[in-house]
Structure 1
Amino acid sequence: MSGILDPSRVAPAPWRNAAGATRELATGTDASGRVLWRISVADLDRDAPFSTFPGLDRLFVALGPLQLTIDGRQQGLAVGDQARFTGEAPVTVALDTPTRALNVMTRRGACRAEVTLRPATAPRLPADATTTLTVLLDELAADVRLFKEPDD
């Protein structure tokens, strides 16, 4: 599967913890309706805790400068920097100015994700056997590749 995802065409929805807003762009589920992966763009306008998502792993891509605290460890991120953490981890964000972030969540043990950030005018990643979705982010674009984990 491949496609283009445009956050400007999706209305923001409040976070589960009501501390921010997100634009859910695409979700994949298994036969029972359980989320296997989810791609969203968060509008970050104030310091806030993140919602927890047990059983999911998160790939967070900063679209502006910010500070994450993950499990008590601070990490400064610039545009394009990525952080991986579990959905159970206590995470907070601190901001100097409002920004956005790309979030890709994957079901632990079922699939994983990679994100390549590039100028919007640069060519897309070539299609392959994985799912590749491109998220439009103004002057940037993010190519999200989703991989199925092998069954044990």
Structure 2
Amino acid sequence: MNNTIIPVPANFRGYDQAQRDRFFGVLEIPVPFSLLNTNNQISVQLPDTGGHISSVALQVFNFSKNILSVNDYTFENDKVITVYPNPVDEELSLQSTSENILNATALIYTASGKLVQKQTIPNLNSKINVSNLTKGIYFIQISKENKKLKSIKFSKK
């Protein structure tokens, strides 16, 4: 892969069809993300004669970032939206230096993605009552005009 030798696993999907002249199986070769480029060169060398490769598919499962975590997004002209305290007990505070946050929507989701609370942000320093939430991990997403502006993971005591 891109001039780096990667050991090929001995196992494959399907079973050894030794009685057949031709056999089609799927061999999955794990490739570290760090070896991937925008344009990749892939070559596979078979240890025995008569083997053929009918197709190659590159499917990425490991990413440069943890895709299960929520990324921070900022307003185009803002650069700062703060959510605190974390962990929280009763009230979550939202603070911004930009008026772009005015009338945005705060959506609170469980770790499994269920929407549990929704509130409009009326001013630059707003509070969200989360006392009704059970103890656990949540995500607050700040959105305006159907555009996600920021998402933050927080825990409820």
Whether TM exceeds 0.5 here: the answer is no
How high is the TM-score relative to the length of structure 1? 0.33
Higher fraction of strand: 1
- Bigger RCO of structures 1 and 2 (CA < 8 A, at least 6 apart): 1
Larger radius of gyration: 2
